[in-house]
Structure 1
Amino acid sequence: MKRTVFIFIVGLVLMACTDQLEQYPQDKISPQTYFRNENDLRLYTNSFYNILPGAVGIFSEKVDNIVSNTLADELTGQRTVPTSGGGWDWGTLRNINFYLENSVKCDDENVRARYDGVARFFRAYYYFNMVKRFGDVPWYDKVISDKDTEALQKKRDTRTLVIDNMIKDLDFAIEHLPADRTVDQVSKWTALALKSRICLYEGTFRKYHTELAVSGWESMLDLAIEASEQLMKGSGYALYNTGNPGKDYLNLFASIDPIETEVILARLYSDALQIYHYVNYYLTSPGQGRNGLEKRLVNSYLMLDGNRFTDIPGYEKMTFVDEVKNRDPRLSQTIRTPGYTRIGETTRLVPDFSLCMTGYQIIKYLTSPKYDQYDRSCNAMPLMRYAEILLNYAEAKAERGTITQEDLDKSINLIRSRAGMPGLNLVNANADPDSYIAKLYPAVCGENKGVILEIRRERRIELVMESFRWDDVMRWKEASACFLEPFKGMYFPATGSYDLDDDGKFDICIYKDEKPNAGDIQYYKLGVDIILESGESGNVMVNPHIQKIWDEDKDYFYPIPIQERLLNPNLTQNPGWDDGID
């Protein structure tokens, strides 16, 4: 822990000096006197950890998993071509390349290889974000002088070239980084996890985005399988499992210290050092958007016996108490369900619509009430964990067409077993694909359709609120199907009072005209505080008056800023984005 805190503090100090690090020459770190020993290389590469997202970049997932009282510009067609910024930022890359050009000054080749591995890991990480956002981007592996006109006026390189170079960087990192499992530093296993993630993304992106005509999706998925399998066989990581399927998933994310059995890389926080984030406040304050799970995600959780909830006749009109009975235990560890109490407390709590638009009130990451104030949470935030690798492996095998029951048993079914759920049967899944899930992903077809749909179900449930959903929908090219349907919450058959935790007492009253006196409960006026789909009955509607727009021809990429295109006329704009230059 002391090493972790030291690294974090050094990162903060170096982050404060980022502007100086991006301008050469530098007063405090001179390449003539620095980069000579392991301490120099370690301290400099520690600054790269600031590339990783902080807690808010992890838990504040939106789009169709978590919905709030506002909609992102991405979902309303409000994105425009920015004048500058917009994610087209190369300062981080310059910092990395500056290090790689100067680390040769260290005479210890083993030390240099190790920290070069750190740098090349983060260069791959950086470029992954750039490719996801913009598609083709220029590849730079050296510091660019302001006099290097050729490099500054460079065209965008193809995504295939950039991805190939990223994989070379990761292969170097895998070979030279230590095999020690260190939750706060990158290792061989962290590099393998990133390779698994990147190759799955790229393989499925190429497969489903046929309009780009980019070949090689099969080889990308093969690399994802290989990286995942290498980590699965040799790393020693395993799912956190104490044999308590009703608590293990919840405790994994509520833990103050990262559970290193499963967590490969995490952002660490500290109450003692007053290094905080605000996930508790985010989930318990009405001013944070009243975030809640969306109805279609709740519908996706299976029954406890493994059967599909959406196969039950009349599931669409089940009220809350009935719909959450006998479901996948991860549902009651992700949202408030009957009998819920805060960690360390005994008072039963019901869903609170003043804190949650949909009624499906989130508890994932939520710790004890003493951390509820703004910027007082300090539980660890997993960035990479073993469950993702298992999901990556299964999906890559299924999309590649090579998956077997044995593959499912050592991946998806371990995740289901931790949750106390029956395993997934390959033959049965493909014989009877889920029509409800298929509506979310109409592009899925072929003999493995059923198992691919089940793996996507599992991925969405297991990784909710970990900021995977946007990337997943982008690579599958399913934004129109996933994002444009109205976002909904709980079902109410009529106005009146309802018991939300099955204790025989009313908890909420939805009224039409005059406010009744039903006791000390939640009151919501129809059409003012709450909107139901069919007027006086139906599902709670979230932002029904805001039109959602998605352009399949342009919205899978972000636009290049106008200023960058003016400075470099060789930069082409992404399709469909009109910046007035061409």
Structure 2
Amino acid sequence: MKNKIIIISLFWMLLFISGCEDFLDRPPLSNENDETAWTSEDKVRLYANQFYTGFFTGYSTDVSLFNDDVVQRGNQGNFTRSVPNSNIWSMKTLRSINILIDRVGNRMQDILPEEAYNHWMGIGRFFRGMEYADLVFTYGDVPYYDHVVSDIDMDDLYKARTPRNNVMDAVYDDLQFAFQNVRLNDGDQTVNRYIVAGFISRIALYEGTWQKYYYKNNERATKFLTLAKEASEFIINSNKYYIDSDFRTLFTSNDLKSNKECILFRNYNAEIKVTHSVAHYNNPANSINYGGTTDLLKAFLCVDGNVWQNSTTEGAKDFTIANLVKTRDSRFEGTFYDKPEINAKGSFLFPVKFFPRYGIKALEETGTVPNELKGSNNVTDAPILRYAEILLNWIESKAELATIGGSAVTQEDIDASINKIRDRPLAPEAVEKGVQKTKAMMLDALPNDPAKDPNVSSLLWEIRRERRMEFIFENLRLADLKRWSKLEYMDTDMHSELLSGAWVNFPVEAKDQLTAGNANEFSVTKADGTTIVYNGNNNAEMVGFYKATVTKGRQPFLNQVNVNPYLSPVGKTQMDNYESKGYKLQQTQGWPQN
């Protein structure tokens, strides 16, 4: 084992904030000898800081593209269909976390007061639970270590994979300990019990539904779903958070510190050169290769709370984008540009969820946008954990528990969760366009959706729809499909509307595209399913859901021999490495073992 431990503070070069608290500059970089590093709470805090940027990543260069909400022009993203040469979990972060737990547990019992000792043990176990949950959700069985591994202990380094359920029981215990012992408030920009509870609600909901739908183990499902419900209720009952801003402001504000929906967010600051580029990639003036799918836009509820097929909203069956803005749930306008945009080359349905409204205004009035919205100059804050997710985690966990012996969901439960989200404020710019709030969900009048999965109850179907509308491009959709055992929704052979996008009246809205040079470049699908390819002369017929002719379906990934899209395989090289040392590494469930 190495004698030196690098204690990294990173100056918190990537700052982020919990709740409405002020900035906190982290101390500068420092190195300590392992023998002298564990002598005060401040030094423990410094060591723990290294994990923040890894677990709470903020904005990257782009948005979540691999799911049934997004169509790519050309080839779609594909699931792994064969065992790679090289691929395996990394234990680097876990080793560092176990060092934290080991050193606090074995060297600081007489240094820290009991409350501080329990808090930092809770922080370490929270991070360990987070990391192991991520590994398990990716690989299933993984080697479990609750100690610092010696680099000369070959039996430990090359130990067999621990069964998933055993690992997740350890994760459960770690998260419970953190939930009971992490401080309610440990200062600005630090993990507190509300943040812990928020991530517990996410992790436990994932595992609970995975157990129910993938393993069909209702006993274990109940264990984790109950934890998800309790963790969510802790946050809800605190009355610290509520929905207080319009939808797009959550993702385009330069300062979220006063936003009561944000339990945790990351702040960006040009002065210290901590920026991102997500707004740049959501600028309608820039060309992107993707856009929203027809399947997604049809999933949006009308403002009367019904599906488009049965809605009494005037214009419910008119799919022009300008009409969808007025007739659909307000999150449609909050997510997409209000007219067909050729720069969304996959679908003409351009995402602007992460692009500020003032940038749209500047673009439309001057043809350009402010410099801070260009390239990697973006400084809009990134919500990491928000109250809307907690509300949806809570109502879903309750609804799932109700199917396996728990108490029934009530109208009061719906009012306290989904209907609070639907009642979020509207931006003035949205109101000017005719955007309205969606009618409250009523348990005794749930939509009769012809597109509903027959294996899902109407209540769960509507809860899942709410998540889809709320979390577009936020990296949760694929995880949701996996934990529901519903990756079939991404099968483009089964769902052709995953390959088309916005309804476009080309002669009116995109007449510049109707040129001889664009012949055979795109097609439209009519409401009756008929497809018309543009041939250079059939201009009047080019009205329907847009599809590029080069767009191809996803490769088959379901019911393939030795292919399990739900879990990642380990690489052949890693299996050979184990064998060369005299050990056996089992392949991931559902993949070939040789």
The interval holding the TM-score normalised by the smaller chain is: 0.7 to 0.9
Find out whether 1:570 has 2:580 as its counterpart. Answer: no
Residues 179 and 188 in structure 1, CA contact (< 8 A), matched pair in contact too: yes
Query: Which range moved further: 199-208 or 114-123?
Result: 114-123
1:234-383 matches, within 5 Å, as 234=238, 236-241=240-245, 248-258=246-256, 259-284=258-283, 289-311=288-310, 318-337=319-338, 350-367=339-356, 368=359, 369-370=369-370, 371-383=372-384
For 2:487, the aligned partner's letter is A
Deviations 1:286-331 (A, max 9, x none): 8774332211111111112222223359977743334443221221
Shift of 1:547: 4.0
* CA shift in 2, pair 1:404/1:482, >3 Å: farther
Report the Cα distance in structure 2 between the residues aligned to 1:176 and 1:57, rounded to whole angstroms. 36
Residues 264 and 385 in structure 1, CA contact (< 8 A), matched pair in contact too: yes
For 1:362, the aligned partner's letter is P
Deviations 1:89-141 (A, max 9, x none): 11011111112111242311333332222222111111111111111111111
Report the Cα distance in structure 2 between the residues aligned to 1:539 and 1:10, rounded to whole angstroms. 42
Look up the match of 1:549.
556
Look up the match of 2:546.
540
For 1:575, the aligned partner's letter is Q
Report the Cα distance in structure 1 between the residues aligned to 2:112 and 2:554, rounded to whole angstroms. 60
For 1:132, the aligned partner's letter is F
Report the Cα distance in structure 1 between the residues aligned to 2:99 and 2:352, rounded to whole angstroms. 43
Deviations 1:254-276 (A, max 9, x none): 11122541111222211222211
Q: 2:444 aligns with which of 427, 448, 454?
A: 427
Look up the match of 1:345.
none
Give me the TM-score of the superposition, normalised by structure 1: 0.81
Report the Cα distance in structure 2 between the residues aligned to 1:69 and 1:380, rounded to whole angstroms. 29
Look up the match of 1:491.
503
Residues 70 and 289 in structure 1, CA contact (< 8 A), matched pair in contact too: no
Shift of 1:235: 5.2
Report the Cα distance in structure 1 between the residues aligned to 2:236 and 2:125, rounded to whole angstroms. 23
Name the SS for the 2:503 alignment partner: strand
Name the SS for the 2:500 alignment partner: strand
Residues 213 and 484 in structure 2, CA contact (< 8 A), matched pair in contact too: yes
1:9-88 matches, within 5 Å, as 28-52=31-55, 53-56=57-60, 59-69=63-73, 71=75, 73=77, 75=78, 77-85=79-87, 88=89
Report the Cα distance in structure 1 between the residues aligned to 2:317 and 2:188, rounded to whole angstroms. 43
Report the Cα distance in structure 2 between the residues aligned to 1:163 and 1:325, rounded to whole angstroms. 45
Deviations 1:338-383 (A, max 9, x none): xxxxxxxxxxxx4421244212111112133322322111111111
Look up the match of 2:164.
159
* CA shift in 2, pair 1:489/1:424, >3 Å: same
* CA shift in 2, pair 1:58/1:231, >3 Å: farther
Residues 156 and 571 in structure 1, CA contact (< 8 A), matched pair in contact too: yes
Name the SS for the 2:326 alignment partner: coil
Query: Which range moved further: 369-378 or 384-393?
Result: 369-378
Name the SS for the 2:33 alignment partner: coil
Residues 68 and 289 in structure 1, CA contact (< 8 A), matched pair in contact too: no
Residues 434 and 453 in structure 1, CA contact (< 8 A), matched pair in contact too: no
For 1:69, the aligned partner's letter is R
Q: 2:222 aligns with which of 213, 218, 221?
A: 218
Look up the match of 1:342.
none
Look up the match of 2:3.
none
Residues 134 and 558 in structure 1, CA contact (< 8 A), matched pair in contact too: yes
* CA shift in 2, pair 1:363/1:375, >3 Å: same
Name the SS for the 2:384 alignment partner: strand
Look up the match of 2:480.
472
Q: 2:570 aligns with which of 536, 539, 560?
A: 560
Q: What is the root-mean-square deviation in Å for CA atoms of aligned residues?
A: 3.0
Report the Cα distance in structure 2 between the residues aligned to 1:72 and 1:132, rounded to whole angstroms. 23
Deviations 1:171-198 (A, max 9, x none): 2222222213877321101111111111
Q: Sequence identity, in percent?
A: 29
Report the Cα distance in structure 1 between the residues aligned to 2:180 and 2:390, rounded to whole angstroms. 19
Shift of 1:532: 2.6
For 1:202, the aligned partner's letter is E
* CA shift in 2, pair 1:143/1:58, >3 Å: farther
Report the Cα distance in structure 2 between the residues aligned to 1:180 and 1:134, rounded to whole angstroms. 34
Structure 1: 5+ residue stretches without partners: 18-26, 242-247, 338-349, 500-506, 515-524
Deviations 1:364-404 (A, max 9, x none): 12133322322111111111111001001111111122211
Residues 558 and 574 in structure 1, CA contact (< 8 A), matched pair in contact too: yes
Report the Cα distance in structure 1 between the residues aligned to 2:199 and 2:129, rounded to whole angstroms. 9
Deviations 1:15-66 (A, max 9, x none): x99xxxxxxxxx9432211111112101100001132234128833432223
Q: 1:140 aligns with which of 122, 145, 159?
A: 145
* CA shift in 2, pair 1:173/1:72, >3 Å: farther
Report the Cα distance in structure 1 between the residues aligned to 2:587 and 2:546, rounded to whole angstroms. 40
Residues 37 and 108 in structure 1, CA contact (< 8 A), matched pair in contact too: yes
Shift of 1:489: 0.8
For 2:501, the aligned partner's letter is G
Shift of 1:81: 2.5
Q: Aligned pairs, how many?
A: 515
Deviations 1:549-570 (A, max 9, x none): 2224611111012233233343
Report the Cα distance in structure 2 between the residues aligned to 1:565 and 1:397, rounded to whole angstroms. 42
Structure 2: 5+ residue stretches without partners: 1-8, 17-24, 360-368, 403-407, 426-436, 526-530, 534-541
Residues 306 and 422 in structure 1, CA contact (< 8 A), matched pair in contact too: yes
Report the Cα distance in structure 2 between the residues aligned to 1:58 and 1:135, rounded to whole angstroms. 27
* CA shift in 2, pair 1:205/1:183, >3 Å: farther
1:398-547 matches, within 5 Å, as 398-401=399-402, 402-418=408-424, 420-429=437-446, 433-436=448-451, 438=452, 441-444=453-456, 449-484=457-492, 485-486=495-496, 487-492=499-504, 496-499=506-509, 508-511=511-514, 513=516, 525-528=518-521, 530-533=522-525, 534-536=531-533, 537=542, 538-541=544-547, 544-547=551-554
Shift of 1:474: 0.4
Shift of 1:333: 1.2
Residues 128 and 174 in structure 2, CA contact (< 8 A), matched pair in contact too: yes
Look up the match of 2:192.
187
Name the SS for the 1:531 alignment partner: strand
Report the Cα distance in structure 2 between the residues aligned to 1:483 and 1:117, rounded to whole angstroms. 42
Report the Cα distance in structure 2 between the residues aligned to 1:317 and 1:272, rounded to whole angstroms. 47
* CA shift in 2, pair 1:220/1:288, >3 Å: farther
Name the SS for the 1:353 alignment partner: coil
For 2:203, the aligned partner's letter is I
Residues 208 and 443 in structure 1, CA contact (< 8 A), matched pair in contact too: no
* CA shift in 2, pair 1:421/1:137, >3 Å: same
